[in-house]
Each structure stands twice: as structure tokens, then as C-alpha cells.
């Protein structure tokens, strides 16, 4: 419960608020007491009549329905094929769902390329999908997903000498 002094303070604060807020709003709006002395003179614009038809825009070709549209040939360089690179390989574990991919990463092939990696120590090979073309840490030529790397070597053998074919 509020004491008598607290109730009295609350009533005084409410009365001041009810009086002060409308007074401030009304004192800030003095636009009715001032008069506007600016006048706007009407201007007349004459439009000349043109009996001729407007010209066709310069950038549009003539509308000829019998002419076929032009076919544009774009030359795209073929991805490198038959390339061999010798270097070292190591392993890395990619997180997440691999969606059936056998991921590896090398800056020497295009993203999505199928790469054949051959271990030069034991001649075992594997195929993997290139998922990154960024520079690799440690001076390696290729990083292979851990589970895929086990097809050509044990993890304790890393880094291993390899030949990369794509």
C-alpha cells in the first residue's frame, strides 16, 4: 500500500503531466498565428502540335519476323587434362556430410575435377574430387580426406610422395 505522502506525490505528478504536455504541444504549433506572404504565379506552357509520327528509337532494330536471332558463340577454355604433378600429400578430416564425395584439395586442378593420386612408395592409387583450389599449408601439393587417404597409405606415413593426375 502507498502511504499518504506517496499518494499525494503521485497525484501532483499526474496533474503536472496532464497540464504540461498539452501546453508544450500547443506552444510549439504557432503556424496559425503567422500569415503566409508568398504567392505563386501561374505559368503557361505552350505545346506545339506535331502532325508527323514520332521517329523510331535509334537503338532498336527493325521488326522483321522472318529473321532469326543471332547465335552468340562463346569460347571457354577446356579444363586441363592429362596433367601430372609430383609432390607430397597429407590428410585432413572435413566435417559435415560429404554427400558421397571422396574429397581432396589441390590448387593444381579445377574445382570438381576427378583426381587420381598415386602413392610413389607403394604404387597404390585412389580417385578423389577436388573441393578447393586454395594454397595448402605445409607446402603440400594435395590434401586428402582422412578416410580416403587410408586407401593409399597409413596416417603415420604422412606426408607421402605422390603423383597427381587429372
Q: What are the chain's domains? A: 84-165 (2.40.40.10)
Q: Using a cut of 0.85, tell me whether the model's pTM lies above it.
A: no
Question: Does residue 6 carry a pLDDT above 80?
Answer: yes
Q: Is the dihedral of CA 95, 100, 102, 105 positive or negative?
A: negative
More confident residue, 71 or 149: 149
State the pLDDT at residue 58.
65
65-101 b/e with 16+ CB inside 10 Å = b? eeeeeeeeeeeeeeeeeeeebebbbbbbebeeeeeee
- pLDDT tens-digit profile of 29-62? 655 555 555 555 555 555 555 556 776 666 656 6
State the pLDDT at residue 74.
74
pLDDT range class, residue 67, cuts 50, 70, 90: low
Amino acid at each position: 500500500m502507498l502511504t499518504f505522502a506517496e499518494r499525494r506525490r503521485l497525484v501532483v505528478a499526474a496533474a503536472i503531466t496532464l497540464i504540461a504536455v498539452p501546453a508544450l504541444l500547443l506552444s510549439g504549433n504557432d503556424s496559425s498565428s503567422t500569415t503566409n506572404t508568398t504567392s505563386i504565379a501561374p505559368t503557361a506552357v505552350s505545346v506545339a502540335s506535331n502532325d508527323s509520327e514520332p521517329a523510331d528509337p535509334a537503338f532498336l532494330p527493325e521488326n522483321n519476323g522472318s529473321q532469326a536471332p543471332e547465335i552468340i558463340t562463346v569460347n571457354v577454355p577446356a579444363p586441363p587434362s592429362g596433367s601430372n604433378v609430383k609432390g607430397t600429400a597429407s590428410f585432413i578430416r572435413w566435417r559435415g556430410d560429404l554427400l558421397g564425395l571422396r574429397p581432396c584439395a589441390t590448387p593444381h586442378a579445377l574445382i570438381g575435377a576427378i583426381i587420381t593420386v598415386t602413392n610413389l612408395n607403394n604404387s597404390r592409387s585412389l580417385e578423389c574430387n577436388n573441393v578447393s583450389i586454395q594454397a595448402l599449408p605445409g607446402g603440400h601439393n594435395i590434401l586428402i580426406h582422412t578416410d580416403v587417404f587410408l586407401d593409399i597409405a597409413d596416417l603415420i606415413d604422412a606426408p607421402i610422395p605422390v603423383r597427381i593426375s587429372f
